[in-house]
Chains A and B, each alone.
Chain A
Amino acid sequence: MSQGKTVVSAEDVARRAGVSRSAVSRTFTPGASVSEAMRTRVMKAAEELGYHVNHLARSLVRNRSGIVCLIVSEVATPYRASLVSWMTQCLQEAGKVAMIINTDRSDSSVSAALQQAINFRADASIILSGMPDSGITHLCYQHGQHLMLINRDETLPGSLSINLDSTHAAETALMAFLRAGCRHLAFANSLAGTPSLMKREGDFLAAAARAGVAITVERFGSTSYESGRILAHRLLTRQQRPDAVFCVTDLVACGFMDEARHSFALRIPEDLCVVGYDNIPQSGWSSYNLTTFAQPVEQFARDAVRWLVAQEQHNDELRPRAEQQNSRLIYEASVIWRGSVRSG
């Protein structure tokens, strides 16, 4: 820039410390060998001069920038916000930095975001919503850019998939409803159709089928509070009114509960049992007190970053690419019992 910033170079540090340029470089390269005395001298000189490793220069040499793209839509919803929060924190701890790219959830905007990630020589991209086309994912793979997919069904070469097992949650919710004496069970879903949301529905239907119980399914709109209200209206005006509903997310459940109380004067859990998914902060507020399933978001984030670091070490060791495995991590959601289901 034109303002003439004074940037301290590695040479300046080497001169001050009375060591070689390469000793400075090794001191600031994780895992590189340098004697403790040398390291101390370099660190002291670096501190005095206000030297910072130039990630940009380093990325030119190694094609690794330390940048990880977070590709996300609707970041203001509570679940996404907590995911972004944990991801950025864990990346920072690993010496990396998150670059946020907003998408509109369309697959084409996710592909455009990945193209940007390549142009910035990002180390990796974490896709929190949408699914890019295979051309661009192949390009990422070719260029050694790691992909991490959260709650997507697909696996891609050299990528990490993080998924949640909702079968246990489905069985737990079903048992809770039956124990409470509920007879007419429903599942309230959005029309978003993402793999994880569809799996929650599918697992609940499968668990019910095994128990010989029928489920009414209703789907509407985006995965939001407002949709929850409309879903409630649709399900609760049916001739056979449900007395238990499993909502696909807490946000939907909150809207569902409000509509049930407000427009149908139903008491929860006396007249209607409700279970949600995600354990967003609002589900713990006393106006909802919602029984739900918690995703181990912090664990996702820690494991994803750990995987990325391991992949990079792997690459540095010059092993053939064929050894790079597609990895899949599966987590179980844990039930958080609150007051929206009657005890049996």
Chain B
Amino acid sequence: MGDTKKNWVKAEDVARLAGVSRSAVSRTFTPGASVAEKTRARVMHAAEQLGYQVNIIARTMNTGSSNFIGIVTAGFDNPFRSKLLSPLVHQLALHGFMPLLMNADDPDQLAPSLKQLLSYHVAGVIITSGAPPLSLAEEYLQRKIPVTLINRHADLDGCDRVASDNQQGMQLLMDYCRQRGWTNIGFIGEDRHNFSTGERYKALLSARREFSLSTRFMTGGGYAAGRAASRELTHCQVLLCATDMLALGAMDGLRSLGSTSQIPAVTGFDDIPQASWDPYHLTTIQQDTDGLAQQAVDLLVTRIAQFNLPSRHRAVPVKLMIRKSA
């Protein structure tokens, strides 16, 4: 890159000044590699004098394996997704991996961006909910790049996935409804094909003989969708919402009707920070974002070590948070 190129000191330069081999320099800067204390001191001294900076990318090229992990995500306006990012980055760092973040909000940009990840020789890819097509996961798997899915489903050979235990979460909510004597239930979900919405709805359907069920599927989900759907479900005793964002919108929607008669109780799913804010005090199912991140990275790391494993699935337990909204 023009005039800045000369500023980069090479490992060879350090070796020459220190009077040691090129490999001694390399070993000095590789954690855990063996090198005599005296050699290390000479190398460090020379490196210091020359202003040498380790080039991790060069190391990647030499060993053939990079420590980049792609994280493909979308819909950061949902606080649950941004809440998951921090523990993911943290867990990857603990294993010495660096996260390259791919934003899949713009569908036109997605294919070139995911191809771009390939060019960094990523050691693995994590695909979260919200982020679209799984055909791209197939492309990675074909190249023997491990793929872990969080809160979504795919029947792909060699693809691992981790998800919150939706079945357990809905059981907890239905038990709570039984306890409160609620039989007339409204369900507000995102798109019918959305994995989490689908699983949560399916769990509810398993008890449909017990409950009278009204459902609304709102493409895209979110606060405004919850708001709109709630107004059509005022006859229910409780609205079980597939996400907290839908639930918070539903609560504000019900309130805006200004009705003096009984309005439905509302529950959510996720436990985003806003769920415990004053106007809501939302009764919800808490997803364990630290647990999801830890399991996802563990699955990825073990598959990086050995690609040929059968597909694995792990469910992360959830917790019922009872607050005032229900």
Contact = CB atoms under 8 A, between A and B. Distances in A.
B279 interface: yes
B105 A262 contact: no
A254 B277 CA distance: 9
A152 interface: no
B40 to A, nearest CB: 18
Contact of A88 (B56, B65, B79, B103): B103
A91 to B, nearest CB: 9
Given A92-B109, A93-B109, A316 B119 contact: no
A282 B272 CA distance: 12
Interface stretch (B14-22, B94-102, B178-186, B207-215): B94-102
Given A53-B119, A88-B101, A118-B53, A75 B1 contact: no
A82 to B, nearest CB: 7
Contacts of B76: 81-82, 84-85
A59 interface: yes
B220 interface: no
A56 B119 contact: yes
Interface string B1-15: 111110110000000
B202 interface: no
Contacts of A255: 277
A57 B101 contact: no
A60 B101 CA distance: 22
Which of A84, A121, A287 neighbours the largest number of chain B CB atoms within 10 Å of its CB?
A: A287
B55 A119 contact: yes
Contacts of B117: 97
Contacts of A100: 71, 85, 89, 99, 101
A218 B115 CA distance: 51
A77 B86 CA distance: 11
Contact of A318 (B2, B54, B120, B144): B2
Given A76-B83, A102-B89, A60 B57 contact: yes
Contacts of A60: 55, 57-58, 61
A224 to B, nearest CB: 9
Interface residues of B, number: 66
Given A1-B65, A84-B76, A143-B53, A63 B1 contact: yes
A143 B82 contact: no
A13 interface: no
Interface in A246-263: 254-255, 258-259, 261-262
B103 A285 contact: no
A5 interface: yes
B256 interface: yes
A336 to B, nearest CB: 16
Which of A53, A88, A98, A143 neighbours the largest number of chain B CB atoms within 10 Å of its CB?
A: A88
Interface string B56-83: 1110110011101001000011010011
B98 A120 contact: yes
A285 B100 contact: no
Interface in A71-119: 75-78, 80-82, 84-85, 88-89, 92-93, 95, 97-102, 116, 118-119
A75 B85 contact: yes
B155 interface: no
Which of A261, A282, A318 neighbours the largest number of chain B CB atoms within 10 Å of its CB?
A: A282
B311 interface: no
A116 to B, nearest CB: 8
B274 interface: yes
B235 interface: no
B103 A89 contact: yes
A36 interface: no
Contact of B119 (A52, A77, A119, A258): A52
A102 B91 CA distance: 11
Contact of A312 (B1, B55, B106, B227): B1
Contact of A57 (B61, B89, B144): B61
Contact of A92 (B57, B85, B103): B103
Contacts of B56: 119-121
B2 A316 contact: yes
Given A92-B113, A287-B279, A143 B7 contact: yes
Contact of A287 (B115, B118, B120, B252): B252
B27 interface: no
B101 A82 contact: no
Interface in B195-228: 223, 227
Contacts of A70: 101
Contacts of A65: 57
Given A99-B98, A100-B99, A315 B277 contact: no
A98 B101 contact: yes
Contacts of A315: 1-4
Nearest to A123: B1
Contacts of A57: 61
Contacts of B66: 56
A229 to B, nearest CB: 8
B77 A281 contact: yes
A56 B82 contact: no
A75 B278 contact: no
Given A89-B105, A95-B116, A144-B1, 5 more contacts: A84-B101, A85-B76, A102-B89, A120-B98, A315-B2
| Closest 10 pairs (CB-CB, A-B) | A144-B4, A258-B278, A287-B279, A81-B82, A85-B76, A88-B103, A55-B119, A76-B82, A76-B83, A286-B252
